[in-house]
Amino acid sequence: MGSLVNKRILLGVTGGIAAYKSAELVRLLRKAGAEVQVVMTTGATRFVAPLTFQALSGRPVRTELFDAAGEAGMGHIELARWADLVLIAPATADFLARLAQGRADDLLTTLCLATRAPLLVAPAMNTAMWTHSATQANVSVLRERGVRLAGPSEGEQACGEEGPGRMLEPPALLVEAGAFFETGALDGLRVLVTAGPTREPIDPVRYIGNRSSGKMGHAVAEAAAEAGAQVTLVSGPVALAPPGGVTRIMVETAAEMHHEVMARIGDCDIFIGAAAVADYRVERPAAQKIKKRQQGIELRLVRNPDILAEVAALPDAPFTVGFAAETEALERHASAKRIAKGVDMIAANRVGPGQGFEVD
């Protein structure tokens, strides 16, 4: 766990029964050396009195967006800038929904939109609410934006049911908060990763593309984030959840991936091209589905942009890593690709039956 000494933690408390645990979390954060500013929603004040958090944190608790005294002392924008980490514990289903929608209808949601600090949320709700498709869709949106979730854990709940939905215990949340301040090998670096396949349309139904599950690129992005990097992942269509702490951008075609990469490449220190980008696309995709009545069709293919080579050729190119999937002469072909593309490093993978595609 990284040191929390002198770290400024903005603790958001929302209206769930687990709010009482947040008082212990404040005590642990203060004991670890952190400065803690508590912000409560109206619902949270019905479970725990603001005075409790004020006594434990040593700071007045903020509850209202339109609070003349609070805005005079530390306005909501200044408060958003003050935080090194925004930790929401507990985060109710309602709060997750409002956060996913980008709402700014109270002080806490406004702070979440205004801050540039990382967001860590600790969900707490009934099992049925947690597993509901609407909640899971909201969680997916938040993960796509780089919000990190801590929990929930499984166990007996206040309603008497058992299952996932319990807020992590305060000691576990202390560790999760400390993890944001660990110094890793990539601490402070900005990493851009591509993953998955691209799909080049033949008609509105069919496409050509390369085999790729996206697992490699997602694993690389997750590892880079855990090593302290600020990671953006540009992914083709995959059936994978976004890695924690990673901003994921979904694309379909090679042209879309090229656009997203080139729009961000100037702001990154390392580029890792793990995507299986289609080399060719159909020059003129059919506007309507091609019927099977035709005995044969001819498709004119044109080259797609070579994203990896284009990045490597930039005047101020980041450290560039490519991947090579080969069925034979692995080292020779990978070495030739590294030279041809002009990249700094190539990761070579042997592919074949049961190896290299859709496997862990």
Do residues 276 and 196 lie in contact, with contact meaning Cβ atoms separated by under 8 Å? yes
Do residues 236 and 197 lie in contact, with contact meaning Cβ atoms separated by under 8 Å? yes
Q: Are residues 107 and 208 in the same domain?
A: no
Q: Smallest Cα–Cα separation from 271: which of 318, 316, 225? A: 318
Q: Helices 19-31 and 170-179 meet at what angle, rounded to 10?
A: 50
**Domain-terminating residue out of 141, 157, 179:** 179
Q: Are residues 169 and 246 in the same domain?
A: no
Q: Are residues 285 and 323 in the same domain?
A: yes
Q: Are residues 287 and 346 in the same domain?
A: yes
SS3 at position 120: strand
Counted domains in the chain: 2
159 is catalytic: yes
Q: Are residues 343 and 266 in the same domain?
A: yes
Q: Are residues 291 and 326 in the same domain?
A: yes
**Domain-terminating residue out of 115, 148, 179:** 179
Q: Are residues 14 and 158 in the same domain?
A: yes
Residue 172 contacts by C-beta under 8 Å, 6 or more apart in sequence?
150, 151, 153
Report if residue 210 sits inside a domain.
Answer: yes
Q: What single DSSP character describes residue 65?
A: S
Question: 156: domain CATH number?
Answer: 3.40.50.1950
**Domain-terminating residue out of 125, 152, 179:** 179
One of 49, 113, 159, 297 is an active-site residue; which one?
A: 159
Domain carrying residue 314 = 190-350
When pLDDT is averaged across residues 35-50 and rounded to a whole number, the result is 90
Q: Are residues 229 and 296 in the same domain?
A: yes
Report if residue 333 sits inside a domain.
Answer: yes
Q: What is the pLDDT of residues 91-118, one digit of tens each?
A: 999 999 999 999 888 889 889 888 888 8
Given CA atoms 351, 354, 359, 360 in this order, what sign does their dihedral have? Answer: negative
Which of 121 and 338 is assigned the larger pLDDT?
121
- CA-based R_g, the chain, Å: 24
Given CA atoms 244, 250, 253, 255 in this order, what sign does their dihedral have? Answer: negative
For the cut 60, the answer to whether the pLDDT of residue 356 exceeds it is: no
Which strand (E) or helix (H) includes residue 112? helix 107-114
C-alpha–C-alpha distance, residues 219 and 244, integer Å: 11
Q: What is the pLDDT of residues 113-129, one digit of tens each?
A: 888 888 999 999 888 88
Tell me the pTM: 0.64
Label the pairing between strands 230-235 and 207-209. Answer: unpaired
Report if residue 331 sits inside a domain.
Answer: yes
Report if residue 44 sits inside a domain.
Answer: yes
Report if residue 196 sits inside a domain.
Answer: yes
Q: Are residues 154 and 253 in the same domain?
A: no
Q: Are residues 194 and 160 in the same domain?
A: no
